Amino acid sequence: MTFLHNKGGAGSRRPAGYVWNPNKTRMELWVPCSSDPSRSILRRAHPGRNWTESFVAPVVIAPGTLGLVMERMWAINGRKGGAVSPDQANYINTGEVSGGIYMRVLSAGGQAGDYNAIHWDGSYAISVSKSPHLHASVDFVNNADVAYIAGIVDNTKSAGTNAFALPNNGIYFILDTQTYGDANVRFVVRLAGADAYVVNLGPAPVGYSSGYIFVDDGGTTVYAELNGVPIGSYGTLPAQQMTPYAAIVNRGVGAPPADLDLKIRDLTIIQEYP
């Protein structure tokens, strides 16, 4: 069977199973989306770059590198109590079937602007020219005085214990009560420090959601889906190399009244080889 996924786009149906993609000269495995089995998600490409993380290993923080050790090594940064870096208390296994971690901003000792982030630090291995596909299951647990971001961003992301700021360039899902003035989820393409494309998706669904971002075979247009529902597409994309990125931020005026949580599991990133 021949299946050209770059001609699928938003609103199309994609068959599940192993298919040959002549545009990329590779075999691809597409699996049904749990939220809508009539739609499929790219899970393997051969040849291709296939990066996965299930967040099932015990949480270990390597202080010398500020690294979160799971199946992969993740860099972490942010603010705890307004000044110091996040630590073991900010990253906790969920204990759920299929794994997952809490990225947690603590109430005890917390301050305004506290945040946690995970990423590949100085490794910006993702390029839209290589037609990346990113899928993750995330749960935006809270909806008051909080910001969540999950997607891919460039090297303007906040570093070390610097105050949190949105990246200059990126493609991501976001809920940010401060920036947008509500608790709705949005899909954003950000270019040169400004939102170039924004789709308001309404309040965050309860529980885990399936977020899917992918660029067509030509590397020219990005598409996005949430829980199997097409969101839209945009044809002007960041030229910068990028890294996977997730963050949770306290947007309140002081310590949050209770811990703020972002839950993540089942991350897959696929990109053209080499």
**pLDDT tens string 250-263:** 999 999 999 999 99
The confidence score (pLDDT) of residue 57 equals 85
CATH of the domain at 166: 2.60.120.200
pTM: predicted TM-score of the whole model, two decimal places: 0.94
Lowest mean pLDDT among 32-41, 106-115, 164-173, 238-247: 32-41
**Residues 40-49, mean pLDDT to the nearest whole number:** 95
Domains identified in the chain, total number: 1
Query: Residue 38's pLDDT is what?
Result: 79
**Residue 62: predicted pLDDT:** 74
For residues 10-26, average pLDDT: 80
pLDDT interval class at 166 (50, 70, 90): very high
Q: What is the pLDDT of residue 117?
A: 96
CA dihedral 220, 122, 187, 6 (to 10 degrees): 30
List of E strands, 177-259? 184-191, 194-203, 209-215, 222-226, 229-234, 243-250
Cα 224 to Cα 227: distance, rounded to the nearest angstrom: 10
Average pLDDT for 220-242? 96
Q: Which domain holds residue 134?
A: 5-271
Average model confidence (pLDDT) for the chain?
A: 91
